[in-house]
Amino acid sequence: MAPTSTPQTPFGRVLTAMVTPFTADGELDLAAAQRLAAHLVDAGNDGLVVNGTTGESPTTSDAEKARLVRAVVEAVGDRAFVVAGAGSNDTAHSVELAREAEAAGAHGLLLVTPYYSKPPQEGLYRHTVRVADATELPVMLYDIPGRTGVALETDTIVRLAEHPRIVANKDAKGDLGAASWVMARSGLPYYCGDDMLNLPMLSIGAAGFVSVVGHVVAPELRALVDAYTAGDVVKAREIHQRLLPVYTGVFRTQGVILSKAALAAQGLIAGALRLPLIEATDEQMAVLRQDLAAGGVEL
Which position among 65, 115, 125, 142 bears the catalytic label? 142
In b/e form, how buried is each residue of 67-91, taking b as 16+ CB within 10 angstroms?
bbbbbbbebbbeebbbbbbbbbbeb
Residue 108: phi and psi, rounded to 5, are -165, 175
Which position among 170, 173, 190, 191 bears the catalytic label? 170
Q: Which amino acid type is present at position 212?
A: V
> According to the 3-state scheme, what is the secondary structure of the chain?
CCCCCCCCCECECEEEECCCCECCCCCECHHHHHHHHHHHHHCCCCEEEECCHHHCHHHCCHHHHHHHHHHHHHHHCCCCEEEEECCCCCHHHHHHHHHHHHHCCCCEEEEECCCCCCCCHHHHHHHHHHHHCCCCCCEEEEECHHHHCCCCCHHHHHHHCCCCCEEEEEECCCCHHHHHHHHHHHCCCEEECCHHHHHHHHHCCCCEEEECCHHHHHHHHHHHHHHHHCCCHHHHHHHHHHHHHHHHHHCCCCHHHHHHHHHHHCCCCCCCCCCCCCCCCHHHHHHHHHHHHHCCCCC
> Quick check: is 170 catalytic?
yes
Catalytic residue annotation: 142, 170
